Amino acid sequence: MSEQPAGPDLRPPADEAEALELLRTGTIDLEGRMLDASNVTLVGAIRTDSVAAECVYKPVAGERPLWDFPDGTLAGREISAYLVSEATGWRVVPPTVLREGPFGPGMVQLWVDGDEDVDLAEFVRRDDPALRRMAVFDAVVNNADRKGGHIIPMPDGHVYGVDHGICFSVDPKLRTLLWRWAGRPIPLAALEVLEKLADDLRGDLGEQLHEHLTRTEVRCTQRRVADLLRTKLHPEPNGEWPALPWPPF
**DSSP letters for 47-78:** E-SSBEEEEEEEEGGGPPP-SSS-TT-HHHHH
Q: What is the pLDDT of residues 135-157, one digit of tens each?
A: 999 999 999 999 999 999 999 99
How much is the pLDDT for 67? Answer: 87
Q: Which ranges in 149-214 belong to alpha helices (H)?
A: 188-201, 204-210
Residues of the chain where predicted confidence (pLDDT) is lower than 50:
2-3, 6
Q: Where are the domains of the chain?
A: 16-231
Which pLDDT value is given to residue 3?
A: 47
Is the four-CA dihedral 201, 202, 203, 204 of positive or negative sign?
positive
**Residue 184 pLDDT:** 98
Tell me the fold of 16-231: Transferase(Phosphotransferase); domain 1 (1.10.510)
pTM comes to: 0.94
Give the chain's largest Cα–Cα span: 55
pLDDT attached to residue 8: 58
Q: What is the pLDDT of residues 49-81, one digit of tens each?
A: 999 999 999 999 999 989 889 999 999 999 999
Q: What was the pLDDT predicted at 6?
A: 47
Query: Amino acid identity of 41?
Result: T
Contact 209, 225 (CB under 8 A): no
DSSP category for residue 150: G
Residue 169 parent element (H or E): none
- Does residue 12 sit in helix, strand or coil? coil
Q: Which residues of 189-219 are buried (b: 16+ CB within 10 A; e: fewer)?
A: ebeebbeebeebbeeebbebbeebbeeebbe
